[in-house]
C-alpha cells in the first residue's frame, strides 16, 4: 500500500462569490481507482484554502507519491506545489487537461506526466513505483527516463520518453465512482447554499465528443464518445445527494447528444423519485420540444448552449456544425419548456469581420436567455485554432475568471484587445437592457446600439 496525495491547486480569495468553485471530478476518479487498487489516498482540494496553508498541509501529509492536477489556468500553482514538495516526495506526477496536451511544460518540475485518462495509468505507475520497476511498459505517460530508476530524478540527465497513448476506458460503468468522500463536501455545501441557494457538484455521464470544434481542447478524452448507462449515472447522483449536495452540474461536453439515452436518464430520475435539480451543456442540434420538457420534468433547471457565433460562416470556420437557426430553435424549445437558458459566445474570432461580430452581439441579445457569456478567443495548446494562430502568439495565458477586464488576448489578433473588450461590454449591456426593460427596451436599446455599432466599426 502506497500513500498517495492528489492535489487540486485552485485558489480563490475567501470572500469571493466565484461561480467557478466546483468540486474537482478528475482527481476524484483517479483517487477512487487508486483506492480500489489498495492504496492510501488523500485529496488536497485547495478551493477554500490559502496557498500557504495548502503548501503546509501538503508537506505534513508526507505522502510518498504526489499527483497534481493542472489545466490552462492552474499551471503556475501546480508547479509551485511541485517545487515546494520536490525534496520531500519520491514521485511527483502531473495530470489533467494541460499536462495531457503539453507534457513538456511540466517535465522540468515533475518526474512523470500522465497524459489522457488517469485512472489506469496512475494505478500502474504507483504499482511500478512501489515494486521498484521501470516505467517503460506504462502507456500514457511522459517522463525523464531516469525517473523510474531513482525515484527522484532531480540531479540526473534528462532524457524525455513519451510512451504510447493510453487506450481509452471502454466500459465507463466499470469505473469506480469518483471518491467525493475525500473532498471538503461540507464547505462546498455551505458555500453553495449561502451564495446561490443550492449546493452543486459535478457528474460526468459521457466521455469525449464526436465533434471537432476548432477551439476545443480534447487531449484527455481524445477522439471518442463513450456513454455510461442511465442506472449507473443515477446511482452516482444518489451518492452525491447523500453527501448533502442538491444540485448536479452534468459536466459532459455533449450531454444532450443522444436523446434516447438522456430520456432514459430522465425516466430513471423520475422512477426513483429523486428530488434533485440539475443543469447541463446541450447541443442545439439535438434539442427538441419533447426532450426539453422531459428534462424539465426530471428536475433540469438550466441548460447551457455553446453557440459561439451568430453568423453561419463563422460557425463553419469554427467547425461547430450548427446553424444560427438551429440555435434559436433550441433555445425556444428550452425556454418554452420552462428551463432557464444560458449561452456562450466567442467574439472577434480569427477570421471575423466587424459585421460578423455585430451579428453575434445582435443575435445573442435577441435571445430569451437568463445567462449570457462572451469571451475573446483563446487558442488552447494543441487545438486546431492554436495551430492556425501559433505564429502570432505573443503572451502567456492568465486566468480569465478575475473579471473580463483582466482577460488578455494572447495572440496578435485582427482586433485589438480593447476592441474585443468593447464588444463584450456592448453585448452584455444590450442583453441586460433588453432583459430589464422588456417591451420598452427599444427606446433605449436602438440608440445605444446605433452609437456603439458605429464606435465598434471605427475602433482599431
**Residues near ligand B12 (CB under 6 A):** 6, 20, 22, 24-27, 29-30, 67-69, 71-74, 93, 95-98, 100-101, 114, 117-119, 122, 202, 204, 216-218, 220, 251, 253, 375, 378, 380, 399-401
Q: Name which of 216 and 389 has its Cβ closer to ligand B12.
A: 216
Closest separation in Å from C-beta 74 to ligand B12: 6
What's the min distance (Å) between Cβ of 29 and ligand B12? 4
Residues whose CB is less than 8 angstroms from the CB of residue 229 and which lie 6 or more positions away in sequence, other chains included: 173
CB of 257 to ligand B12, least distance (A): 13
Provide, rounded to whole angstroms, the least separation between the CB of residue 98 and ligand B12.
4
DSSP for 212-229 reads: --TT---TTT-S-EEE--
Q: Report the nearest approach of ligand B12 to the CB of residue 230 (Å).
A: 19
Query: Which set of grid coordinates corresponds to residue 231?
Result: 442506472
The C-alpha cell that represents 154 in the structure block: 532531480
Rounded CA-CA distance 312/422 in Å is 23
- Residue whose CB is nearest to ligand B12 in the complex, by number: 95
- Tell me which residue of 258, 264, 313, 268 sits closest to 288, measured CA to CA: 258
| Of residues 147 and 380, the one with the C-beta less far from ligand B12 | 380
Backbone angles phi, psi at 83, to 5 degrees: -65, -40
Tell me how many degrees the CA angle 375-376-381 measures, rounded to the nearest 5: 105
Task: Please say which residue, 20 or 198, places its beta carbon nearer to ligand B12.
Answer: 20
| Phi, psi dihedral angles at 320 (to 5 degrees) | -80, -25
Least spacing, CB of residue 397 vs ligand B12, in Å: 8
Q: Widest CA span of the chain, in angstroms?
A: 74
Minimum separation from the CB atom of position 447 to ligand B12 (A):
32
Nearer Cβ to ligand B12, position 88 or 328? 88
- For ligand B12, which is the closer residue by CB, 254 or 269? 254
- Nearest-angstrom CA–CA distance, 276 and 80: 38
Rounded least distance, CB 328 to ligand B12, Å: 24
Residue 277 or 437 with smaller CB distance to ligand B12: 277
**What letters, b where the CB count within 10 A reaches 16 and e where it falls short, cover 70-88?**
bbbbbbebbbbbbebbeee
Using the minimum distance from each CB to ligand B12, give the nearer residue, 55 or 142.
Answer: 142
Q: How far is the CB of 314 from ligand B12 (least distance, A)?
A: 18
User: Hey, CA dihedral for 118, 123, 126, 128, is it positive or negative?
Assistant: negative
Minimum CB distance to ligand B12 smaller for 251 or for 444: 251
- Which ranges of 337-437 would DSSP assign to H, the alpha helix? 354-365, 384-389, 417-437
In whole angstroms, what is the distance from residue 332 CA to residue 196 CA? 26
Check if the beta carbon of residue 213 is closer than 8 Å to that of residue 320.
yes
What are the residues facing 280 on neighbouring strands? 303
**Which CB, 290 or 387, lies closer to ligand B12?**
387
Angle at 306 between CA 95 and CA 361, to 5 degrees: 130
Amino acid at each position: 500500500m502506497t500513500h498517495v496525495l492528489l492535489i487540486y491547486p485552485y485558489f480563490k480569495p475567501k470572500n469571493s462569490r466565484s461561480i467557478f468553485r466546483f468540486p474537482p471530478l478528475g482527481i476524484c476518479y483517479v483517487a477512487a481507482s487508486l483506492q480500489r487498487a489498495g492504496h492510501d489516498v488523500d485529496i488536497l482540494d485547495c478551493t477554500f484554502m490559502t496557498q500557504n496553508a495548502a503548501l503546509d498541509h501538503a508537506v505534513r501529509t508526507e505522502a510518498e507519491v504526489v499527483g497534481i492536477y493542472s489545466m490552462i489556468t492552474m499551471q503556475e500553482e501546480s508547479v509551485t506545489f511541485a517545487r515546494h514538495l520536490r525534496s520531500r516526495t519520491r514521485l511527483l506526477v502531473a495530470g489533467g487537461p494541460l499536462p495531457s496536451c503539453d507534457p513538456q511544460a511540466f517535465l522540468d518540475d515533475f518526474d512523470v506526466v500522465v497524459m489522457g485518462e488517469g485512472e489506469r495509468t496512475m494505478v500502474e505507475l504507483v504499482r511500478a513505483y512501489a515494486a521498484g520497476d521501470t516505467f517503460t511498459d506504462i502507456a500514457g505517460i511522459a517522463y525523464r527516463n531516469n525517473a523510474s530508476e531513482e525515484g527522484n530524478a532531480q540531479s540526473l540527465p534528462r532524457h524525455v520518453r513519451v510512451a504510447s497513448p493510453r487506450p481509452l476506458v471502454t466500459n465507463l460503468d466499470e469505473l469506480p465512482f469518483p471518491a467525493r468522500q475525500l473532498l471538503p463536501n461540507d464547505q462546498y455545501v455551505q458555500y453553495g447554499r449561502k451564495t446561490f441557494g443550492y449546493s452543486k457538484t459535478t457528474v460526468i455521464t459521457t466521455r469525449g465528443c464526436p465533434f471537432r470544434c476548432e477551439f476545443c481542447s480534447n487531449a484527455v478524452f481524445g477522439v471518442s464518445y463513450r456513454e455510461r448507462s442511465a442506472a449507473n449515472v443515477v446511482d452516482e447522483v444518489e451518492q452525491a445527494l447523500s453527501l448533502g449536495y442538491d444540485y448536479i452540474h452534468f459536466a459532459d461536453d455533449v450531454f444532450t447528444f443522444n436523446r434516447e439515452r438522456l430520456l432514459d436518464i430522465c425516466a430513471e430520475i423520475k422512477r426513483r423519485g429523486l428530488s434533485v435539480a440539475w443543469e447541463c451543456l446541450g447541443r442545439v442540434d439535438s434539442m427538441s420540444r419533447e426532450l426539453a420538457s422531459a428534462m424539465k420534468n426530471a428536475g433540469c433547471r438550466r441548460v447551457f448552449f455553446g453557440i459561439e457565433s451568430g453568423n453561419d460562416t463563422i460557425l463553419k470556420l469554427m467547425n461547430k456544425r450548427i446553424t444560427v437557426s438551429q440555435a434559436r430553435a433550441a433555445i425556444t424549445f428550452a425556454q418554452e419548456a420552462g428551463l432557464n437558458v444560458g449561452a456562450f459566445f466567442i467574439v472577434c474570432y480569427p477570421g471575423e469581420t466587424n459585421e460578423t461580430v455585430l451579428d453575434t452581439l445582435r443575435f445573442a441579445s435577441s435571445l430569451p436567455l437568463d445567462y449570457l457569456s462572451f469571451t475573446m478567443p483563446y487558442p488552447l495548446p494543441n487545438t486546431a485554432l492554436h495551430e492556425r494562430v501559433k505564429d502570432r502568439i505573443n503572451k502567456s495565458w492568465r486566468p480569465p475568471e478575475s473579471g473580463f477586464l483582466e482577460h488578455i488576448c494572447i495572440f496578435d489578433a485582427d482586433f485589438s484587445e480593447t476592441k474585443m473588450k468593447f464588444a463584450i461590454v456592448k453585448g452584455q449591456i444590450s442583453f441586460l437592457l433588453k432583459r430589464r426593460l422588456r417591451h420598452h427596451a427599444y427606446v433605449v436599446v436602438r440608440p445605444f446600439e446605433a452609437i456603439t455599432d458605429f464606435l465598434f466599426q471605427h475602433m482599431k
